[in-house]
Structure 1
Amino acid sequence: MAKRRRPGPDRSSYLNHRSRVEPIRAPDGSSVRELLHPSRHAIERLSVAEASIDPGESTRLHRHPVAEEVYQILDGAGLMELGDERLAVVPGDIIRIAPGQPHRIEARSEVPLRLLCICQPAYRDEDTEFLDTPDPSDTGTTWSSSAAHSNS
């Protein structure tokens, strides 16, 4: 008897390419490509996203009460705010962000700041608390994990 395939995410997938994922505007101000997430891929306990921040722009100050994050800087240069610390970051740098730690990152080069963001447990909108007020002139499309998962 043939196995019946359950509807939903392809849990056998293990390879994804960034070109297959459309960028979405995130509520923190960055452009995000969600590369791996449990709701869509064969991964269970973490998520991996690529974020891009335009020169001179920054993410909003926020924290994740539950998730631990790791950023790896891929391109560009920036200033990472972690609580009371300010750290200059360049490609190759890896930053650990503890659960509950306020953070934001600013692009400080002439090219977009591009980074990988790894969350454990996996990213959830409900685990993001913004600590500043949004710019009222920003009319960009906002991101939610469900919107990101509608793309292939």
Structure 2
Amino acid sequence: MNVFEYLVKITPQATAHGSGIKYVFKRNEELDSNLTQIAYGKFEPGEVCECHVHPTMDECFYFIKGLGEYQVGDEFVELRENTFLIVHAGVPHRLEAKGNLPLEFVYWGVAL
């Protein structure tokens, strides 16, 4: 197993939710852990990941660039550079990129 990946060598793909793109560093089948994937994500301004739930997975995000808003349950979190966010399993959540620049982030899921 490779212990490193270069982002420029990873083929971008659509997210499972139909918005934005992702570059997957590692998938669950490549790891000996409860991580479901580790990826770099990018949403263009105005892109939205509609409200959804992961019943058996916590999802963590670290936002690198851009502005956005994350709805986690009934709470609205303003996203900006250097923001960390965790969405616990079973909690509805929705992501929206705002501003004039892409929203860029690293994220990973942990199966429970």
Q: Same fold (TM over 0.5)?
A: yes
Structure-2 separation of matches of 1:31 and 1:43: 25
Q: For residues 1-150 of structure 1, what are the structure 2 equivalents within 5 Å?
A: 12-28=1-17, 29-39=19-29, 41-46=30-35, 47-121=37-111
Matched pairs, number: 110
Structure-1 separation of matches of 2:108 and 2:6: 16
Structure 1 residue ranges (4+ consecutive) displaced by more than 4 angstroms after TM superposition: none
Structure 1 residue 27 displacement after superposition: 3.2
Structure 1 residue 75 displacement after superposition: 0.9
Normalising to structure 1: TM-score of the pair?
0.67
Letter in 2 for 1:89: L
Structure 2 unpaired stretches of 5+: none
Structure-2 separation of matches of 1:84 and 1:54: 24
Structure 1 unpaired stretches of 5+: 1-11, 123-152
Letter in 1 for 2:82: G
Tell me, yes or no, if the aligned pair for 1:70 and 1:95 is still in contact at 8 Å: yes
Letter in 2 for 1:106: E
- Give the root-mean-square deviation of aligned CA atoms: 1.6
1:53-106 deviation per Cα after TM superposition (whole angstroms, max 9, x unaligned): 110111121110001111100110101110111111111100010001111111
State the partner residue of 1:148.
none
DSSP-derived class of the 1:56 partner: coil
Letter in 2 for 1:55: P
More strand as a share of residues: 2
Normalising to structure 2: TM-score of the pair?
0.89
Cα distance change on mapping 1:66 and 1:19 into 2, 3 Å: same
Tell me, yes or no, if the aligned pair for 1:61 and 1:102 is still in contact at 8 Å: yes
State the partner residue of 1:131.
none
DSSP-derived class of the 2:8 partner: helix
Structure-2 separation of matches of 1:53 and 1:120: 22
Structure-1 separation of matches of 2:5 and 2:16: 24
